[in-house]
Amino acid sequence: MLEKEQRQLMGSDVMDTHMILVVEDEDESRQVLMQILELEGFKAVGASNGVEAMDYLHSSELPCLIILDLLMPVMNGRQFRAALLEVADLAKIPVVVVSALDSSAISDLGVVRAFRKPLDIDALMRIVRENC
Amino acid sequence: MIDQNLRLASLVENSETEVTALLRLGTENRSSIAGKIVWRTPKGPKACQIVAWCARPPDEAGAALIIIRCDSDDEVVNRLRELNEQLNILKSELIARRQVERGLVGALKARDDFVGIAAHELRNPLNVFHLTLQLLYRMPQKSGNDIRGILDKLRAQLNRINSLVDHLLDVTCIRAGKLELDLEKFDLSELIREIVRRFAELHPDIPLVVRVNGAAAGNWDRFRIDQAVSNLISNAIKYGLRKPITVAVSVDDKKACVAVQDQGIGIAPDDSERIFERFERAVSQSHTEGLGLGLWIAKRVVEAHGGLIIAEGQAGRGAVFTIQLPLSKEQHA
């Protein structure tokens, strides 16, 4: 269920400096966040779990940032993060975690920043601009 | 100490060495010590088993209080028997208390886990609400349709929050034994059609089929039955893998039944009872929305009507949840 079918099979080492991948299982959260990112001038692609996100990364241009939820079915955020770190090109992509979980559950993931829901969108946009 | 020795020594036949040793033991040892002394009595010497213990340790002047309990052999045996009985009772009480303690620790953990789940579940709709407001602020030009669409989203999230809070309050209410039924005569078949219509509007992509054979009138609490059936359908949607769901109503001369059948992940045999407990979910590993209270509430509601709720199914082969409701008011518990 990937939004924005932008799969142009450009090879996994090409980084799109304005594209952000939003990995979030809750449809509403994902869609609204993508709309906000687009209104702020970025391209946004959505995936509803880690497997979909990984499929996307292996077949399309790489994003400049990944916004990642943790609790998801199929492949959760923690598993997805571990899978990213196993591939050199993917491990370079900065990751921001947005979760309803306590930040203590996030400290070991090695991400740029961890946000707790409800999301502070202004703070997120600062991180997005720094990285994209 | 010497005075004490002399005072005790004048009362007993024991040697002074024995008395001194006894008193030393008594003052040095805070737990009781056992021994044997021979009292001088008007009727002659009387041998006794004694139990002595230090009630107050020696002060600066060396004065201590040592209590000596003396029993004849029979008394000692009886006393020992009594003490053993008391000890056994205490042991049983201790075991029972430890069990209660374990239960309480488990209950506290369950409550803490639940508070975490509740906070998590409330944060998700709050997050969408918050993001949607941010979207509204950021939209440069807003048409009437844009505003309406956003307001609809906000209302949907408020309904989610409201529903979660209702569930939380219901748990408190049911636990306190304050679930009161507002009974009225109505047609269950009609209510089921209405509930299914509501779900079909919310989930147009999931096939929902109603099977009803005529009216099924009875005296029930419409709001609570709606809640119980809605919880079952909501679960069927959650775990039904988007496959068709059938809601069937049947009636005989004593009871009406509502069966909600899905073709989803099903229920493992070991889970068919557990899933009706509070905060339990058939699937505990993956993330699913909700507080895990739906079935617990449905069961309490149905039982308050004097009815039954039964879960059947196999892992991977879907599940059927059946509510049985007595038709007449007299049959209510």
- What does the DSSP assignment read for B131-199? HHHHHHHH-SS--HHHHHHHHHHHHHHHHHHHHHHHHHHHHHHHHTT-----EEEEEHHHHHHHHHHHH
Q: Please judge whether B130 and A39 are an interchain contact, meaning their C-beta atoms are less than 8 angstroms apart.
A: no
B33 pLDDT more than 70: no
CA distance A117 to chain B (A): 6
* φ, ψ at B211 (rounded to 5°): -120, 115
Among A23, A24, A27, A29, the residue to mutate for chain B (most B Cβ within 10 A): A29
Is B271 or B181 the better-scoring residue by pLDDT? B181
Percent of chain B at pLDDT exceeding 70:
82
Cα B33 → chain centroid: 46
CB B262 within 8 A of CB B238: no
What pLDDT does A8 receive?
A: 37
Q: Please judge whether A76 and B287 are an interchain contact, meaning their C-beta atoms are less than 8 angstroms apart.
A: yes
What pLDDT does B92 receive?
A: 93
Mean pLDDT of B183-199: 93
Structure tokens at A40: 């702020």
B246 pLDDT more than 90: yes
Rg from Cα positions in chain B: 36
Low-confidence ranges of chain A (pLDDT < 50): 1, 3-12
Mean pLDDT of B249-265: 92
Chain B residues within 8 A of A29 when measuring between CB atoms: 124, 127-128, 131
Chain B residues within 8 A of A26 when measuring between CB atoms: 124, 128, 289
Structure tokens at B239: 């775990």
CB B281 within 8 A of CB B288: yes
Cα A21 → chain centroid: 4
Chain A residues within 8 A of B132 when measuring between CB atoms: 28, 32
Q: What is the pLDDT of residues B47-93, one digit of tens each?
A: 777 777 777 777 777 677 777 666 666 666 677 788 889 999 999 99
CB A112 within 8 A of CB A95: yes
Expressed in angstroms, the distance from the first to the final Cα of chain A is: 24
B309 pLDDT more than 80: yes
Q: What is the pLDDT of residues B282-294, one digit of tens each?
A: 444 444 556 667 8
Query: CATH number of the domain at B109-175, out of 1.10.287, 2.40.128, 3.40.190, 2.30.29?
Result: 1.10.287
Statement: the pTM of the whole predicted model exceeds 0.80: no
CB B238 within 8 A of CB B321: no
Which sequence spans correspond to the domains of chain B?
2-71, 109-175, 183-331
Q: How confident is the model at residue B280 (pLDDT cuts 50, 70, 90)?
A: low
What residue type is assigned to position B223 of the chain? Answer: F
Give the CATH fold of the B183-331 domain.
Heat Shock Protein 90 (3.30.565)
Which sequence spans correspond to the domains of chain A?
19-131
Structure tokens at B252: 């005989």
CB B92 within 8 A of CB B257: no
CB-closest option in B130, B156, B289 to A119: B130
Chain A residues within 8 A of B287 when measuring between CB atoms: 25, 71-73, 76
- The CATH homologous superfamily of the domain defined by A19-131: Response regulator (3.40.50.2300)
Q: Say how many C-beta atoms besides its own lie within 10 A of residue B196's C-beta.
A: 21
